Amino acid sequence: MNKVLLVFYSRTGYTRRVAEQIAKRLPCDICELKETRSRAGVPGYLRSIFEALTGREPQLQDPAVDPARYALVILGTPVWAGRVCSPMRAFVARHRLGSAELAVFCTLGGSGAEDALSALALQAGKTPRARLALTDREINTGSTGRQLDTFVAALRPEGNG
């Protein structure tokens, strides 16, 4: 078992792409959150916005990880309507981090990154060791390397950067 756990949710693939880039730079166990119900197409998009605005939490498939068993947990979320995505909120509500340190990242098409990351840290009850926000445009153009390197460097143990 690694000392680092990366947990993420991705509806459109942007957050998954960032999670994969982090995992290439930092040895970690990866847990992609899966739901019991599809979010495909327009109905899935509308449900995503509705849940973000109302605070409703979806049913998740059992992720079979215990974040409290790790030294560091990285949480990755898309930003929906300026908020943390509902699957990530559901995960954090159901899984305590124990003594694990926290790092957070988000992907977004528009604005709301700081509010979403702050809300995620507040819900987790931790001050993040590092934060990262990447826009869909940055991800599409491949201009995220320096930001990812800086984020990962902040997560490495002292002297192993």
Would you state the pLDDT for residue 6?
98
Q: What is the pTM of this model?
A: 0.94
- Dihedral through CA 80, CA 146, CA 104, CA 33, nearest 10? 60
Give 112's pLDDT tier (boundaries 50, 70, 90): very high
Residue in 24, 133, 35 with CA at minimum distance from that of residue 75: 133
Which CATH number does the domain housing residue 118 bear? 3.40.50.360
For residue 105, being part of any structural domain is answered with yes
Average pLDDT over residues 17-34: 97
Q: Is the pLDDT of residue 30 over 80?
A: yes
Tell me, rounded to whole angstroms, the distance of Cα 21 from its chain centroid.
13
3-state SS, residue 128: coil
Number of domains in the chain: 1
For residues 82 and 30, the answer to whether their CB atoms sit within 8 Å is no
Range(s) of the domain holding residue 13: 4-155
Where on the phi/psi map is residue 95: left (φ > 0), alpha (ψ -120 to 50), or beta?
beta
Average pLDDT over residues 112-124: 97
For residue 160, being part of any structural domain is answered with no
82 burial type by CB count under 10 A (0-12 exposed, 13-18 middle, 19+ buried) = middle
For residue 38, being part of any structural domain is answered with yes
Give 23's pLDDT tier (boundaries 50, 70, 90): very high
Q: Is the pLDDT of residue 64 over 90?
A: no
Would you state the pLDDT for residue 63?
86
Give 158's pLDDT tier (boundaries 50, 70, 90): low
